[in-house]
């Protein structure tokens, strides 16, 4: 079967939804039109592919036929330069060889410590509030994830500098998302207010990273103290990263490792707050494994239920909700012809609800994952193939430990009649934040 063409009339009918609620749009599009849909876009072929095997073929089986020169990644590269997430071909292969070793098990041990520290700060902040306080959990998770990735990258330098760096990244991403959504983005040289903000944010990024790198080189600090140290010391034969490349990788790790984890945790709390039996099992596991102390990376294997809850939250609200590729050569996906140059859109959000794979897909059910993190068909929260998320283990460890740590102390309750609207930006975020009520488990 070939691709089903979404007609101009159909597109017009769905134009508003596509803009305001792309998640529901994509799920509906696959349900209505099928697993391979062609959007009628002038001057380029655009295919939305929701067939699980075809998605794996794009990312893994025939990955050589697909590259990253898409609007999504070109927009991001305005901030991340030629970092791992956005680069392609030989540039990417070399960076991956140099960066991947930084994510070895010792780094993950350190991540455990950073999570515990950030989690303790969060709990201390919550303890200082009166019983029944409503907190913005989205804001809290953004803060925790920022502290963790900041500490993993810069350890001791975590201060005003890294805070400035991260704020500049968020500011720049804001403009980039708006730009990627615009049907006719103006050239960057046109000094719109957005472009001026972007330029200022990127200048701050460049200056801050340059300063951090210069100070670190001058101090000659231990190569394996943190990710920045590991990037500066990375060698493949005589090959090393230049200062510019270190800048691009540092910014990439902040972009890729902050909001993604925060978004996943925020949605986990939303789902758990609606499922008292899941909350109770999480608390029971936390009591049994941690008994009130802060977690370490060594606790990770024992926190199996927390991990299953996080896996299931990543299914329902995958932060990287859309993954795009450009076909470098002709291919065939689920029987549909893909010409060279076509844009291929995959959506983890839609794949994770594929009715042929998941029973009752909208239901939050961690039991789907309690038999271990088996490789699932149509489950790709971290992508697949050679471009699989380099921070996957980092993120799973962080999410699992924090979930267990907080569940030991608090239950988070929904407000009466509360609803949330997911907003699909760089990641999926609850529009207007996520207010939940704190209930202390051991008052």
CB 232 within 8 A of CB 217: yes
Helix H or strand E encompassing 336? strand 336-338
Q: Please, is 362 exposed, middle or buried when counting C-beta atoms within 10 Å of its C-beta (0-12, 13-18, 19+)?
A: exposed
Residues 6+ apart with CB under 8 A from 37: 3, 4, 5, 6, 29, 30, 47, 48, 50
| Residue 250 binds to ligand HEM (criterion: CB under 6 A) | no
Considering CB under 6 A, how many residues would be counted as binding ligand HEM? Answer: 24
3-state secondary structure 349-382: HHHCCCCCCCCCCCCCCHHHHCCCCCCCCCCCCC
Stretch that binds ligand HEM, among 156-164, 289-297, 380-388, 431-439 (CB under 6 A): 380-388
Distance CA(221)–CA(205), nearest Å, equals 22
Min CB(108)–ligand HEM separation in Å? 11
d(CA 102, CA 153): 10
Residue 81 interacting with ligand HEM (CB under 6 A): no
> Structure tokens of 92?
């990417």
Residues in 144-163 that interact with ligand HEM by CB under 6 A: 149
The gap from C-alpha 327 to its chain's centroid, in whole angstroms, comes to 24
Residue list 90-129, contact with ligand HEM (CB under 6 A): 96
Work out how close the CB of 145 gets to ligand HEM at its nearest, in angstroms, rounded to a whole number.
8
Query: Rule CB under 6 A: is residue 26 a binding residue for ligand HEM?
Result: no
Q: Is 67 helix (H, G, I), strand (E, B) or coil?
A: strand
Shortest CB 278 distance to ligand HEM, Å: 19
Instruction: Report the C-alpha gap between 172 and 252 in whole angstroms.
Output: 12
**Shortest approach of ligand HEM to residue 232 CB, angstroms?**
16
Of 122-130, 212-220, 257-265, 418-426, the segment contacting ligand HEM by CB under 6 A is 257-265
CB-closest chain residue to ligand HEM: 391
Binding to ligand HEM by residue 382, rule CB under 6 A?
yes
Site pattern 327..366 for ligand HEM (x: CB under 6 A): ----------------------------------------
387 near ligand HEM, judged by CB under 6 A: yes
The DSSP H or E segment spanning 325 is strand 323-327
Residue identified by tokens 């080189």 is 217
**Residue 390 sits in the site that holds ligand HEM (CB under 6 A):** yes
Q: What angle do CA 210, 240, 387 make, to 5 degrees?
A: 95
Buried b (16+ CB within 10 A) or exposed e, 214-224: eebeeeebeee
Contact with ligand HEM (CB under 6 A) among 84, 175, 313, 350: 84
Nearer to ligand HEM, 49 or 390 (CB): 390
Give 345 or 412: the residue with its C-beta nearer to ligand HEM.
345
Contact pick of 150, 229, 257, 295 for ligand HEM (by CB under 6 A): 257
- Asked if 422 interacts with ligand HEM (CB under 6 A), we say no
Taking the complex as a whole, the smallest distance from the CB of residue 98 to ligand HEM amounts, in Å, to: 11
CB atoms within 10 A of CB 91: 15
Stretch that binds ligand HEM, among 134-142, 206-214, 319-327, 336-344 (CB under 6 A): 319-327
Kindly tell me which residue out of 381, 408, 422, 430 binds ligand HEM, with binding defined by CB under 6 A.
Answer: 381
Residue ranges in contact with ligand HEM by CB under 6 A: 84-85, 96, 149, 252-253, 256-257, 260-261, 264, 318-320, 323, 381-383, 387, 389-391, 394-395
């Amino acid at each position: 079967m070939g691709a089903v063409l979404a007609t101009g009339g159909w597109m017009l009918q769905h134009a508003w939804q596509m803009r305001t609620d792309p998640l529901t749009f994509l799920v509906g599009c696959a349900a209505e039109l099928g697993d391979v849909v062609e959007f009628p876009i002038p001057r380029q072929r655009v295919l939305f592919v929701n067939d699980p095997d075809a998605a794996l073929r794009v990312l893994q089986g025939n990955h050589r036929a697909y590259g990253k020169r898409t609007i999504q990644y070109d927009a991001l590269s305005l901030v991340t330069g030629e970092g791992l997430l956005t680069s392609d071909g030989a540039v990417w292969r070399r960076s991956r060889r140099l960066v991947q070793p930084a994510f070895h098990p010792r780094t993950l041990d350190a991540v455990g410590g950073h999570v515990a520290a950030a989690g303790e700060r969060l709990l201390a902040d919550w303890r200082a509030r009166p019983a029944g306080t409503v907190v913005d959990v989205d804001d809290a998770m953004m803060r925790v994830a920022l502290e963790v990735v900041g500490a993993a990258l810069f350890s001791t330098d975590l201060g005003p500098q890294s805070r400035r760096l991260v704020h500049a990244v968020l500011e720049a991403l804001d403009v980039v998302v708006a730009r990627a959504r615009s049907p006719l983005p103006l050239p960057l040289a046109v000094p719109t207010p957005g472009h001026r903000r972007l330029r200022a944010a990127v200048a701050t990024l460049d200056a801050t990273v340059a300063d951090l790198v210069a100070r670190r080189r001058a101090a000659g600090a231990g190569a394996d103290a943190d990710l920045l140290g590991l990037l500066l010391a990375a060698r493949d034969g005589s090959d090393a990263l230049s200062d510019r490349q270190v800048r691009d990788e540092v910014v990439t790790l902040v972009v890729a490792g902050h909001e993604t984890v925060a978004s996943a945790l925020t949605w986990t709390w939303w789902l758990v707050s609606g499922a008292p039996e899941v909350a109770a099992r999480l608390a029971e596991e936390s009591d049994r494994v941690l008994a009130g102390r802060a977690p370490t990376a060594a606790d990770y294997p024992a926190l199996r239920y927390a991990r299953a809850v996080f896996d299931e939250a990543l299914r329902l609200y995958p932060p990287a909700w859309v993954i795009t590729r450009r076909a470098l050569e002709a291919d065939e996906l689920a029987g549909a012809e893909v010409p060279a140059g076509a844009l291929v859109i995959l959506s983890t959000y839609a794949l994770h609800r594929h009715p042929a794979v998941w029973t009752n897909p909208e239901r939050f059910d961690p039991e789907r994952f309690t038999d271990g993190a088996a490789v699932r068909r149509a489950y790709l929260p971290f992508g697949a193939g050679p471009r699989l998320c380099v921070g996957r283990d980092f993120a799973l460890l962080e999410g699992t430990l924090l979930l267990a740590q907080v569940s030991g102390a608090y239950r988070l309750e929904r407000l009466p009649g509360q609803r949330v609207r997911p907003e699909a930006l760089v990641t999926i975020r609850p529009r207007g934040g996520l207010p939940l009520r704190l209930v202390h488990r051991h008052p």
